[in-house]
Structure 1
Amino acid sequence: MSRRVLWVGVALLAVFATGCGADSKSSGGSSVAENAAPQQRAAQPTGAQKQQDNSGQQNQSAESVQQQERQLVRTATVDLRSDDVLRSISDIKAKAQQVGGFAGQESSTQSRGSVTVRVPSNELDGVVRSLEDYGDVTRSEVRSEDVTDQLVDVEARIATQKASVERLRVLFERAGSTAEIAQVEGELTKRQSELESLQRRSESLKGKAALATLTVQVSTTPIAPPAPERTGFGDAFVAGWNALVHVLRLVLVGVGGLLPFVLVLGVPTVAVIFWLRRRKRVTPTVEADA
């Protein structure tokens, strides 16, 4: 009897141990799965995250496109010292033509000269750096003006004006009386002129953005840099005094220019007037004596 009870107890303990082991394994596996699930969920982006990433990429691409499409009007001024002014100016013009530009204004002597060239905007920095091959660069200044907003505004106005012109053309075709034809034709001519003006402005802005302006001053001696602008009471007083001296000088020059005319015309005129007045006074006296 005792043995049966003992074996039954052992069997129950074995079953209980097996059940606990299975529960522990299942609970362990579930805990591991639960621990791994957040990592997998973190590793796998959700739909909102995907949309956010896509929108971020689209914004970045839009910004890069916008930066690439910025319209900049670039200008540069360079002072160059060279022993051979004429040769340096000729080399600068040749460099501009080499990169697809052309030469504009030019004024030169043996000791001093200047030249203005137009080059593609993306070639401006390279051309400015290449000027070191033609002499000593004593001053270099590059400026940029963003005209993108102006160009966008002009293009929008062009589109609106084109639509307006097209509507007026339809009205012109439908006009019946002579008065209506004359009225519509006058308004159509006016708006067509405004459209052409906007188109010329757009082409001008695009041309300035496409071609940069480079002005090079060449001299055998270093060119003094422009004096910085100063503001203050003393500077204002000196500027006013210089302006007064300049005005007085102009007045003296004007008086000097008029003086020959006064001497040549004024003196004989005064003499004739004096003689006529004296004769007029003498004549009544003679008549009274008679």
Structure 2
Amino acid sequence: MGRPVLWVGVVLLALVSAGCSNNSSGTASMDAAAPQAADQKVAPQDKPDSAGVQPVQQPERQLVRTATVDLRSDDVRAAVSKIKDRVVAAGGFAGQENTTSTSGSVTLRVPASELDRIVDGIPDMRIGEVTRREMHSEDVTDQLVDVDARIATQKASVDRLRALFERAGTTSEIAQVEAELTKRQSELESMQRRSESLKGKVAMATLTVQVSTVPIEAPAPVDAGFGAAFRSGWDAVVAVFKVITVVVGAVLPFVLVLALPAAAVIYVLRRRKRVTRTNEEA
């Protein structure tokens, strides 16, 4: 293939890849709908009547789950150790840990399907009193669908660039296509790492356990009303005033030391000027 044709192919490939990236979600939906249309043609007797509503099959929701448990225990190290053993037995593992004789905290990764059972079972372990328990879920289904669609489009783009690279004839063509191929491959690997990270967070929930010999105070609720905003603004004004006062107090001694000689010099110069004018008039 000649050099002009190869350049045209590279440009068209870049344009097509950009268009495919924007329309990947729509293409996936059309591909998913095609088998359903074929099934309806094969089995028309299963088609609902005009008054019925065709149910829409929703994808399984992908949730990133986190949980926090606060414990009061007389033996902090023993409590942390038993919780870690329970998590490991369920297929999880311990992450960051910071434990002393009076307090401790540990972050654990737990299979998402086992999170509820482990959290519900902590009171039955008789290692202390549960003073606080919080559980949160974040839906990342749309993020995963989008990333997977982009990965499929990027793989096709990389394959096409590899085909162009094999047909490149000159050194400049090889360098141009290789640079573009390296860029697309890097983007593909970044998307794949993003997908693996999200899937890992979905598969393994995060459990944070804090243990202390005294009850741990719950976080203070956040007040977002007018009163809180006014107090915050007033505190800022007071802080600025304090800074200004400190600066003035630091600069004032230098001003006083320099002002007295400067005033004396100005007084002498003015007096001499008046004496000179008097002599000239006389």
- Give yes or no for TM over 0.5: yes
Larger Rg: 1
Is 1:152 equivalent to 2:145 in the alignment? yes
Question: Secondary structure at 1:52's aligned position in 2?
Answer: coil
State the Cα distance separating 1:227 from its structure 2 match.
1.3
State the Cα distance separating 1:78 from its structure 2 match.
1.1
From 111, 114, 136, the counterpart of 2:129: 136
After the TM superposition, which residues 1-290 of structure 1 pair with which residues of structure 2 at under 5 Å, given as runs?
50-52=46-48, 59=55, 62-63=57-58, 66=59, 69-132=60-123, 133=125, 134-243=127-236
254 and 101 in structure 1: CA distance in 2 versus 1, 3 angstrom threshold: farther
State the Cα distance separating 1:234 from its structure 2 match.
2.3
Q: Runs of 5+ in structure 2 lacking a partner?
A: 1-42, 262-282
Inter-partner Cα distance in structure 2 for 1:73 and 1:250: 45
Specify the code of the residue in structure 2 equivalent to 1:76. Answer: A
219 and 231 in structure 1: CA distance in 2 versus 1, 3 angstrom threshold: same
Farther off after superposition, 160-169 or 80-89: 80-89
Inter-partner Cα distance in structure 1 for 2:83 and 2:246: 42
Question: Secondary structure at 2:84's aligned position in 1?
Answer: helix
Specify the code of the residue in structure 1 equivalent to 2:75. Answer: D
Note the alpha carbon deviations across 1:141-174, whole angstroms, 9 max, x for none: 1111111110011000000000000000000000
State the Cα distance separating 1:50 from its structure 2 match.
4.0
171 and 251 in structure 1: CA distance in 2 versus 1, 3 angstrom threshold: farther
Inter-partner Cα distance in structure 2 for 1:210 and 1:254: 56
203 and 180 in structure 1: CA distance in 2 versus 1, 3 angstrom threshold: same
Inter-partner Cα distance in structure 2 for 1:77 and 1:234: 30
Q: Runs of 5+ in structure 1 lacking a partner?
A: 1-46, 259-265, 275-290
Specify the code of the residue in structure 2 equivalent to 1:82. Answer: S
Inter-partner Cα distance in structure 2 for 1:168 and 1:236: 56
Question: Secondary structure at 2:215's aligned position in 1?
Answer: coil
Return the structure number with greater relative CO, CA threshold 8 A, min gap 6.
2
Note the alpha carbon deviations across 1:57-79, whole angstroms, 9 max, x for none: x948x44xx3xx32110001111
- The percentage of aligned residue pairs carrying the same residue is 65
Question: Secondary structure at 2:145's aligned position in 1?
Answer: helix
State the Cα distance separating 1:81 from its structure 2 match.
1.1
Inter-partner Cα distance in structure 2 for 1:70 and 1:233: 38
State the Cα distance separating 1:248 from its structure 2 match.
7.1
Farther off after superposition, 206-215 or 133-142: 133-142
Note the alpha carbon deviations across 1:31-79, whole angstroms, 9 max, x for none: xxxxxxxxxxxxxxxx9774329xx9x948x44xx3xx32110001111
The count of corresponding residues between Structure 1 and Structure 2 is: 210
146 and 223 in structure 1: CA distance in 2 versus 1, 3 angstrom threshold: same
More helix by share: 1
Q: State the Cα RMSD in Å.
A: 3.3
Inter-partner Cα distance in structure 2 for 1:163 and 1:104: 38
Question: Secondary structure at 1:77's aligned position in 2?
Answer: strand
- Quote the residue 1:31 is aligned against: none
Normalising by structure 2, we get a TM-score of 0.65
State the Cα distance separating 1:238 from its structure 2 match.
2.0
152 and 80 in structure 1: CA distance in 2 versus 1, 3 angstrom threshold: same
State the Cα distance separating 1:177 from its structure 2 match.
0.7
